[in-house]
Amino acid sequence: MRQFGRRSTAIYVMAALAVGVIVGGYAGLVLSRGQPRETSGNTPSGQLTLVAAGTLVTLLPHVAVQLEAAYPEVQASNSTEEYMGSLDAVREITSLNRSFDVLATVDPRQIPEYMYPHYASWEICFASNPMALVYSPANRFAGQINSTNWMNVIVEKGVVVGAANASTDPNGYNAIFVLELAGIKLFGNEDKLLDHFYVNGSDGIERPNVSSGSLRISPETSADALLQSGAVDFYFTYVSYAIANHLDYVNLGPWINLGELNNTYWDFYRQVHTNIIGPNGQLTAVTGAPVVYCATIPKNSPNPTLSEYFLMFLLSPEGVLDMEDIGLTPITPAFTDNLSAMPPLLKPFATAMPNQMLQDL
């Protein structure tokens, strides 16, 4: 696996140079002794602030550091990067009135549904990420569990599975979808596995089935600690989380893992749904769909120029390699729902969102 930081920032600089030419001198970038120099236009500077899905914590800080290395007047500090469930990240802006340069989520529907039109007008979707059943190498079932028997192992007496809160983190409702899809694909009944872990409340929200005691709702950020301590035996989360934390995982297969953008799989994912309390406080139905990471520059961004350069570095060839290193599947060119509204610096990296995805927005 390629290690972060092995390549110099020259690759990022060359990508920036190429884009500077493509967009007709947007920033007037030229090469001077291997470093970027501005001849006209805006130069990125200042402190980057971002709020993003928790699983991007192994990707975005690295991109921020590379941007800082290329432009000395940029400050990129982890203290100004916040990672949490995507729905909570949206709430930071729409309910708590906080300002960030970049917002990144793990579901293409969140930005249009909760940020348009007051807080944003476009999004760019740059990677997909399959769901997996993740466990510690020291797990009592390590060496026994696999892609053909996992559905039997997780319902054994005494086994506890972890998942995120579906109303704060898409990881939570994606765990529900995995159980429903597995029920359909493996048993012909979407409730076969789901009912062991969840019960539907009077308000329509799925909650842990206390009679089985087999489900623990905890933030994804605590999954590694829970697995290592044995507080849970397994946790439903993304492949990238397992790779970043050196955990083992079961490959759930394309019909169940929400990782395929192929229309056939997409239509299969759409069969399942659940309810959540959205960032607007309303009961909202969510339908199964591929796991796709998207980003936008909020309209109240303190530093739009810096935001654009950050996303340019993320979407650059080097950024694509970084995505692959942590188990993401890059989408190149990235999908956008509103190409005309995007900043000129980012348009060369984008293409129109496919109809299959637009139908879900």
pLDDT at 228: 96
The count of C-alpha atoms lying within 13 angstroms of the C-alpha of 319, restricted to the half-sphere facing its C-beta, is 29
Residue 96 burial (C-beta neighbours within 10 Å; 0-12, 13-18, 19+): exposed
Q: If we measure between CA atoms, which residue out of 174, 182, 162 comes closest to residue 235?
A: 162
Sign of CA dihedral 101, 107, 110, 111: positive
pLDDT at 33: 28
pLDDT at 328: 94
State yes or no: cis peptide before 333, omega within 30 of 0. Answer: yes
Q: Which two tokens stand for residue 359?
A: 């139908």
Sheet with strand 234-238: strands edge to edge: 215-217, 161-163, 234-238, 131-135, 248-251
pLDDT at 361: 81
The count of other CB atoms within 10 Å of the CB of residue 110 is 24
User: Which residue carries 């600690």 as its tokens?
Assistant: 225
pLDDT at 78: 74
Separation CA 275–CA 206 (nearest Å) = 7
Domains and CATH numbers, the chain: 10-129+291-358 (3.40.190.10), 131-287 (3.40.190.10)
Q: Which two tokens stand for residue 183?
A: 């029920």
Instruction: Return the exposure string of 233-271: e unless at least 16 CB atoms fall within 10 Å of the residue's CB, then b.
Output: bbbbbbbbbbbbbebbbbebbebbbbbbbeeebbebbee
pLDDT (tens, 9 = 90+) of the chain, 361 residues, equals: 344 444 444 444 444 444 444 443 334 343 232 333 333 347 899 999 999 999 999 999 999 989 999 999 998 877 799 999 999 999 999 999 999 999 999 999 999 999 999 999 999 999 999 999 999 999 999 989 999 999 999 999 999 999 999 999 999 999 999 999 999 999 999 999 999 999 998 888 999 999 999 999 999 889 999 999 999 999 999 999 999 999 999 999 999 999 999 999 999 999 999 999 998 899 999 999 999 999 999 999 999 999 999 999 999 999 999 999 989 999 999 999 999 999 999 999 999 999 888 888 8
Q: Which two tokens stand for residue 215?
A: 């489900």
Model pTM above 0.85:
yes
Separation CA 24–CA 8 (nearest Å) = 26
Structural contact between residues 59 and 328, judged by C-beta atoms closer than 8 angstroms: yes
Structural contact between residues 48 and 74, judged by C-beta atoms closer than 8 angstroms: yes
